[in-house]
Amino acid sequence: MEPRITHRFFGRRFGRPLSNARRELILNVLPEMEITCKAAATIDGIFDPSIKKLCLEIGFGAGEHLADMVVKRPEVGFIGCEPFVNGVAALLARTQSRDTRVRPKNLKIFPDDARLLLPYLPAAIVDQIYVLFPDPWPKKRHHRRRLICSENLDQFSRLLRPGGVFHFASDHMSYVRWTLQHLCKHSDFDWLADGPHDWRFRFKESIQTRYESKALSSGCSCVYLTFRRRHQIV
């Protein structure tokens, strides 16, 4: 099943030329770890039956956060989406064990635009979605390229189990406001914020990502938002 090409991707797909070792990972290891749209539609056979929870990370960049979660939470199946080939190679390098034949059992990679995959995944099967430091597209005429938009939130709502959560982090305050406005307008989500501790501190269990480190070291503050998929849609 080929993904339907309905969206144009505006980010980068390639960066610096890959080292031989990373090119090998893309050629030989990625095919074993890749999730296709066809496989997504019948997700049941994808992970070991002992894995009962599913988590998506969209735009994992160089994969620091995702690689760390995969090790910390072996009982959770992770699907990471990232169209930037150098990022995919970086994730594969991080998740390689010393025995290069061993692959993490709880990780699948979609090396493309997440919007192509999401419609194929069955409804209400995801427990957590992470979107960490997405491209902010600061110019007004580019806002429509932002990952957070009502169409993608409809997909997140469809995929999350009732009570499942969506985590968003950014250091770009216009994007934070944009996200809050979109989520508060959407009838399927509640913002889980009791006080500033809810948005000033990184999510439990999460480590710093590359973009987060860059933001913090240049003196920017980061905001962390968590939204829960409502049990009953009003």
The residue ranges that bind ligand SAM (CB under 6 A) are 11, 58-61, 81-84, 87, 113-115, 132-135, 147, 209-212
Q: How far is the CB of 174 from ligand SAM (least distance, A)?
A: 15
Secondary structure of 176-221 as H, E, C letters: HHHHHHHHHHCCCEEECCCCCHHHHCCCCCCCCCHHHHHHHHCCCC
CA proximity to 215, closest of 170, 168, 178: 170
Report the residue number, 130 or 189, with the smaller CB distance to ligand SAM: 130
Report the residue number, 207 or 230, with the smaller CB distance to ligand SAM: 207
Q: Does residue 135 carry a catalytic annotation?
A: yes
Q: Tokens representing 185?
A: 């307008």
- Give, as one character, the DSSP assignment of residue 13: S
Of the residues 135, 154, 188, 194, which is catalytic? 135
Distance CA 54, CA 127 (A): 6
Q: How far is the CB of 17 from ligand SAM (least distance, A)?
A: 18
Report the residue number, 93 or 190, with the smaller CB distance to ligand SAM: 93
Report the residue number, 149 or 193, with the smaller CB distance to ligand SAM: 149
8-44: b (≥16 Cβ within 10 Å) or e: eeeeeeeeeebeeebeebbeebbeebebebebbeebe
Q: How far is the CB of 81 from ligand SAM (least distance, A)?
A: 4
Would you name the residues annotated as active-site residues?
135
